[in-house]
Amino acid sequence: IKRVTTHTLQELKSRGEKISALTAYDFSMARVVDAAGVELILVGDSASNVMAGHETTLPITLDQMIYHATSVVRAVKRALVVVDLPFGSYQGNSSEALRSAIRIMKESGAHAVKMEGGQEIRESITRILSAGVPVMGHLGLTPQSIYKFGTYAVRAKEQDEAKKLIDDAHMLEDIGCFGLVLEKIPAALTKQVSQELAIPTIGIGAGPDADGQILVIHDMLGINKEFKPRFLRRYADLHTAMLEAISHYVDDVKTNDFPNESEAY
Ligand code: KIV
Ligand code: NA
């Protein structure tokens, strides 16, 4: 199998083929996601929410991200594996940012890192890029800043925030990021940024004109029934399927149906 690289993603954009991306946090799920042909697998800090049950992405640690990333990398044969630098591991200063990125690359074997923000973290991104680590940007709704925003509502609806986002997007491209996640911004802004940039944009809740799309795997498989924002399309109802299977198992155990003779030694 030919591995997907940052160059592959650039080629896909250049020839107008959309990029498919999903999150994964563990070996078994990553194996399925990779086998299905997804080009980019993100070990997102959304693991804080969907794997650990935290309300926000802030609590997850660098060690925990490395644990998830290591499990994912072991499963993936084709996709590009990108890992989120977690809150607190890169904003403080650029040497700490570099140290965090190097730990991820060395200890997990992942292929790139992703960082939230623009101008504010420019120095940290530059330093990591200088070490030869590919960096993906992330603009718009950046969940590590949720307590600054106060809500998970759509970002950059107003002119000044949209202008800053466009400036940040160009800056990220100019310093050498290989791609950019655009989260929960107006579709028209996504279209403009995606046309102006040469590097691929990957949207979530950002409309149809990003160069690729990403969703949280648990959300798109319908494992979590409560989370239902407008941008989320559910491709399965695994919550129901799993609940039925497990209830059936409980019944079978209670009624002595399981295990039967052929299931015993
Ligand atoms: O952590 C995450 O899952 C993400 C994607 C939603 C882009 O950052
Ligand atoms: Na994230």
Atom 2 in ligand 1: residue holding the nearest Cα: 44
What confidence score (pLDDT) does residue 226 get? 87
- Ligand 1 binding pocket includes 216 (Cβ within 6 Å): yes
Q: What is the pTM of this model?
A: 0.98
Domain assignment present for residue 1? The answer is no
Q: Is 215 in the pocket of ligand 1 (CB under 6 A)?
A: no
CB 104 within 8 A of CB 66: yes
Catalytic-residue membership of 261: no
Q: What is the pLDDT of residue 203?
A: 99
Same domain for 22 and 135?
yes
Q: Which residue, among 134, 25, 106, 35, has the nearest Cα to 72 in the 3D structure?
A: 25
In this structure, the answer to whether residues 250 and 125 fall within a common structural domain is no
**Pair (143, 212) in one structural domain:** yes
161 and 262 co-located in one domain: no
Does residue 101 lie in a domain region?
yes
pLDDT recorded at residue 49:
97
Per-residue pLDDT tens over the stretch 120-178 = 999 999 999 999 999 999 999 999 999 999 999 999 999 999 999 999 999 999 999 99
Low-confidence ranges of the chain (pLDDT < 50): none
How many independent structural domains does the chain possess?
A: 2
The predicted pLDDT at position 150 comes to 96
d(CA 198, CA 104): 27
Residue owning the nearest CA to atom 8 of ligand 1: 44
Give me the pLDDT at residue 225, please: 86
My answer on whether 132 and 257 are in the same domain is: no
Please determine, for the modelled complex, whether the ipTM score is greater than 0.95: yes
Decide if 23 is inside a domain: yes
Parent domain of 104: 6-234
Question: What is the 3 state secondary structure string of 42-99?
Answer: EECCCHHHHCCCCCCCCCCCHHHHHHHHHHHHHHCCCCEEEEECCCCCCCCCHHHHHH
Which are the contacts of 188, defined by CB distance < 8 A and separation ≥ 6? 207
